[in-house]
Amino acid sequence: MLAIDLTGRLALVTGATSELGRGMVRTLAKAGADVVVHYNSNQSMAKMLCEQIKQLGRRSMIVQADITQKDSIASMQQQIADELGEPDILVNNAVIQYQWTKVLQQDAADYEGQFRSCVLQNVFMAQTFVPAMIQKGYGRFIGINTECTMQASPNQSAYIAGKAGMDRTLRVLAKEVGEHGITVNQVAPGWTISENRPDTEATEDYTSKVPLQRRGETQEIANVVAFLASDLASYMTGTYIPVCGGNVMPAI
């Protein structure tokens, strides 16, 4: 039986202290990867995750950075290179949170924030970390998108604009770096159950429209990320993979 084995690989997860981020960090570490835990402000959670990874026998460190600023990402890269080396796996999960509302009421700053955290994060991460992957002839670049990109529902315009821009940017990147043995893929979670809000686990209006008739769990998202990070997905690149119980289905 084939298994996901990331032994000897170094992963960096941005937005690692979020619920999805925590699940991905732990899953990558359990699969054998050393993991760099990025955070913006939640240092205590980052330290806890780092200790959990080390308890699994993996190497780990925490790094603080503003993923919307290239110089901050460059500083993060230098810290990682000095302590653990150059990452083999990038998981770009961080995103700016804001209040959703209608297009006619949405503040322009919200569109700018989503552009910076969805599009420019991936651009800056690629410009900063992919050159070392090219030198190695290996890399896994994974962006965390959303089912919302395909839904285009009311009140989501700034979020969708950012994630749709991210989608097209990463499809282009996949074509540009594929010759160097680097894959570029996206995971698009649905509305995932939150461990902090169990009262939201059953939401009939949402789940009634999902073919699998339930909401997803963090682990189910992390499993797909780990698969894409592994050599089992070595011939997959340029993909947008919904992990949402069939709530959205890319068509051909």
Hey, which residues are catalytic here?
Answer: 159
Copy the structure tokens of residue 53.
């990874």
What is the rounded distance in angstroms from the CA atom of residue 222 to the CA atom of residue 236?
A: 17
Query: What is d(CA 132, CA 243) in angstroms, rounded to the nearest whole number?
Result: 30
| Neighbour-count burial of 239, counting CB atoms closer than 10 A to its CB (0-12 exposed, 13-18 middle, 19+ buried) | middle
List of long-range contacts for 80-85, beta carbons under 8 Å, 24+ apart: 80/12, 80/36, 81/132, 84/10, 84/34, 84/36, 84/59, 85/10
